[in-house]
Amino acid sequence: MIQLYNVSKRYSRDSVAVNDLSLKIDKGEFVYVTGASGAGKTTFLRMLYVAERPTRGQILVDGQNITRIRSHHIPYLRRKIGVVFQDFKLLQSRSVYENVAFALEAQGKKRFEVSKKVYQALKEVGLEHRLQRKPQELSGGEQQRIAIARALVVDPLILLADEPSGNLDQGVTLEIMELFKRANARGTTVLLATHDYSLHQRFPRRVITLDEGKLVGDQRPMDPFGPES
């Protein structure tokens, strides 16, 4: 699903965010991307949805080489990718319904299809009763669930989450992780950037570790479907 060949991203001569990164992530995998702050996790994810372009190397997503993808093709690539951020990135002036519907409307989906799918997505994250609320009226955990609903409502092939639990307490983090696991179980490839080591101890999955932009570890759990998962 995702292949990187000798990918580097330099912002300047002295600032290297990702350094000669090569890896392969299969369809339906659940992968943690870990490392200290500044290790290159966010840049790595941003390159996958072409918010950044690599300085060197090749990136393939779903068989498409996105290294030099033309600007007008980027929206169509992004429709295959759901992205969840630490700061949620919700439209505060819009209702919960509108925030989730936005992703479908952007893809030109018909109105009846939008309302049906939005309701399903919000039900999936347990917020179907908050349709008309504004995000600021909700807790951090609920806001993150809206963001996840927005990412999942388009049935993405890949779900990228950049420190999704960074602003949330332990209880809410576990709820969020359940949502990611359920999406993964439906076949979505999940990449979760985090520096919270307790997460992959609790939910063991493949762990890619970055340090100063370099791949320094790629561990696969012995039994990903073990009792803890």
Residue 191 engages another protein in binding (rule: CB under 8 A) = no
Angle at CA of residue 101, ends 63 and 64, nearest 5°: 10
Given 30, 32, 44, 49, the residue binding another protein (CB under 8 A): 49
Sequence-separated (6 or more) residues with CB below 8 Å from residue 9: 16, 17, 18, 40, 43, 47, 52, 54, 55, 213
Min separation Cβ 101 and another protein, Å:
10
Q: Which token pair is 40?
A: 């290159």
| Site pattern 128..147 for another protein (x: CB under 8 A) | --------------------
Which residue in 22, 53, 65, 106 binds another protein (CB under 8 A)? 106
State both tokens at 133.
């609320």
The helix (H) or strand (E) run that includes residue 8 is strand 2-10
Which is closer to another protein, CB of 111 or CB of 186? Answer: 111
Residue 190's beta-bridge partner residues? 30, 159
| Residue 196 within binding range of another protein, rule CB under 8 A | no
Can you give the binding site for another protein, defined by CB under 8 A? 49, 71-72, 74-79, 83, 89-91, 93-94, 102-103, 105-108, 110-111, 150, 154
